[in-house]
Structure 1
Amino acid sequence: MLLVVFHVIPMNTKDALKSFLPVLTGNYWYVSAYIGMYILVPYMNLVIEHLNKKDFQKLLSTLFVMFSLLPYMKNITVITNNNSVINLVYIYFIGGYLRKYNDDFSKDKIKYYILSFIGSLVLMLASIIVIDFIKPNHWFAFLTTSSPLEAIAGISLFLIVKNTTISYNEIINKIAASTFAVYLIHCQAIFFPILWNKIVRADQWQSIPYTVGYELLVACVIYCSATLIDFIRIYILKTYLKFKVRFVG
């Protein structure tokens, strides 16, 4: 908002609507999808509660095929956009299964979760090299939200963390608390094109040999910068509240 006020970046009516009505305009797809999923939670819980283990596995297998395999087959459009409430419903059912059958994912199997996670990452990196050689413009094919490798890696990482004892860390908790703010800042409708097209210039770096390294660097810089902005916001808010209590009452 300050960038707009001081005429650093322009703002049109469309961007203004996206900024002030993000859910209705679909600006923050994750927030919009999450709200939609939240509405469906009571009904999904009923499904999770009443499905037996075998039928639950069939459901997850079907969803896996629809979300993670069919998108790679031509002329099949069962799922056209994974960045939606449907994708979160899929993830919710996975989480529901892991919770319902928690004993099946015990700590003594953690080595398999680690191998699965590392294996998925290796295959994703290998896919970049192979696909870049075959179809240079599609090197990211297995790095999308519909990637089966990404699904396996995500589930494996969750199971690793689930079975790992992590002590309380104040610094980590403070940084983690700003994660949602990082998402809101770097996906803000007005700032988004400025960030990716003029600052990061993502399109110019897609074909370079060290794309992955550059992307990791950009992600770290954006996360740290946005977190710092949120820390400043929190400090200003706390200072204002202290001032209000002290002088206003």
Structure 2
Amino acid sequence: MNNVVTDGVGSNITDTKAAAKAQKPAAKKRDSNLELFRIITMLLIIAHHFVVNSGLKDMDGPISSSPFTFNSLFLLVFGAWGKIGINCFVMITGYFMCKMNITAKKFAKLFCEVMFYRIVLQMIFWISGYEPFSVVNLVLTLIPITDLTQDFTQCFLIFFLFIPFLNTLISHISERMHIGLIFLCGLTYVLLGTIRGGPFAVDMNYVSWFMVIYVIASYFRLYPKKWTNNTARCGVLFFLSVTAAALSVIGCTAAGERFGRFAPYYLVSDSNSFLALIAGVFAFLFFKNIKIPYNRFINTIAASSFGVLLIHTHSDSMRQWLWGDVLDNVGHFSDKLMPLYAICSVIVIFAVCTVIDILRINLLEKPFFRFWDKKESGWTEKIKGFADRIFRKMDIE
């Protein structure tokens, strides 16, 4: 029997918590197609770092010294998908978030995850003696934003704050204007970014590039078309674009041998190059269309993909320890089973980092945000009241 109280004028008020629970809609479980894509994307990013952060591809590294051995060609193609993976990762964010509100809790989760790994991993390197402690490094560790050029994590944090403004923009323009914006961004970033060299240059910043990707992904969500929803057609385009990217690596390697410039990733070297964008877009569209119903295991693993990125790319010390000391990629370059070693290494890194992040989520994040939920309304009112007072003093409506 419901608890009933009287409001003083004869109306009945049922128990607030019971009513709220009854009226609250069941949370919709997200299908697992794009969650599986998120996992694959992160595996490709790790594979990229296996090659480019380990000394294998350095100018004095073993790949550049003998680029046409089987191991070299395998590793070059194996590690070619990092920038494409970044585009895919941000595209998933844009597709989902363009119809959602950014709350303080969402940003707090992202921020706390970033700072947790930033501080804890740095402390481990200091305590273990792997990296010397300094006051300057301590201060820099505690400052969340120090590099807004090519640092994915820091740029993603700032980009996340732009999402409410981007959503307001895309919801107030027509489809034609949306297409025009995409073409304008493509001309500004992609065309000149692909040509590069001579008078053509784009000094790209990841924050603004993530906005470009967001605009593209939001178009697919807001204006679905027959061709973008056709699994077979998108699958063919996905295969062709990925094949073109792989062939470009081999072709640029051959050209480098001919002209004395080792640049195998020239056409996929950054996220705003044409092949990196096209391969990312068609990969996203293909996985968007395949039908994989909710799978708890896939979705749980995918929820830790960002944590996997934060752990294995933490710092230069992490890169040296992981790729140089633990895995010794350069030392294993000539092994006959190098391809198998590379694949297994990527899978193990992903698995270990995922386990670590799942523990963080269950032991720290969930308890903290249960506390957050209890206090959020009070905090929100105080912050809103403070902001209102400031705006009134500044005569801002």
Give the alignment's TM-score, normalised by structure 2.
0.51
From the superposition, tell whether residues 151 and 78 of structure 1 become closer, same or farther in structure 2 (CA, over 3 Å).
same
Equivalent residue for 2:279, pick from 139, 149, 153: 153
Matches within 5 A, 1:176-191: 176-189=302-315, 190-191=317-318
The letter of the residue matching 2:306 is: F
> Offset of 1:68 from its aligned partner?
2.4
Greater Cα offset, 52-61 or 188-197: 188-197
> Offset of 1:230 from its aligned partner?
2.5
Show the counterpart of 2:196.
Answer: 73
Larger RCO (alpha carbons 8 Å, 6+ apart): 2
Show the counterpart of 1:135.
Answer: 256
Task: Tell me the secondary structure at the aligned position of residue 145 of structure 2.
Answer: helix
Show the counterpart of 1:40.
Answer: 162
Contact 1:181 1:227 in 2 (8 A): yes
Does 2:179 correspond to 1:57? yes
Give the alignment's TM-score, normalised by structure 1.
0.77
CA distance in 1, matches of 2:352, 2:265: 26
Higher helix content, 1 or 2: 1
Contact 1:19 1:27 in 2 (8 A): no
Show the counterpart of 1:165.
Answer: 291
Q: Percent identity?
A: 24
> Offset of 1:79 from its aligned partner?
2.6
Greater Cα offset, 159-168 or 113-122: 159-168
Contact 2:307 2:353 in 1 (8 A): yes
Task: Tell me the secondary structure at the aligned position of residue 139 of structure 1.
Answer: coil
Does 2:124 correspond to 1:124? no
Gaps of 5+ in 1: 242-249
Does 2:224 correspond to 1:102? yes
CA distance in 1, matches of 2:144, 2:339: 30
Contact 1:114 1:160 in 2 (8 A): yes
Does 2:226 correspond to 1:226? no
CA distance in 2, matches of 1:26, 1:199: 30
Contact 1:60 1:93 in 2 (8 A): yes
> Offset of 1:63 from its aligned partner?
1.6
From the superposition, tell whether residues 151 and 211 of structure 1 become closer, same or farther in structure 2 (CA, over 3 Å).
farther
From the superposition, tell whether residues 42 and 158 of structure 1 become closer, same or farther in structure 2 (CA, over 3 Å).
same
Partner deviation per Cα, 1:118-173 (whole Å, 9 max, x = no partner): 11111111111111011151001123312212211211122222222212222212
Task: Tell me the secondary structure at the aligned position of residue 267 of structure 2.
Answer: helix
> Offset of 1:200 from its aligned partner?
5.2
Q: CA RMSD in A?
A: 3.5
> Offset of 1:205 from its aligned partner?
8.8
Tell me which structure has the larger Cα radius of gyration.
2
Partner deviation per Cα, 1:174-203 (whole Å, 9 max, x = no partner): 211211211111121342343345445667
Greater Cα offset, 131-140 or 96-105: 96-105
The letter of the residue matching 1:127 is: S
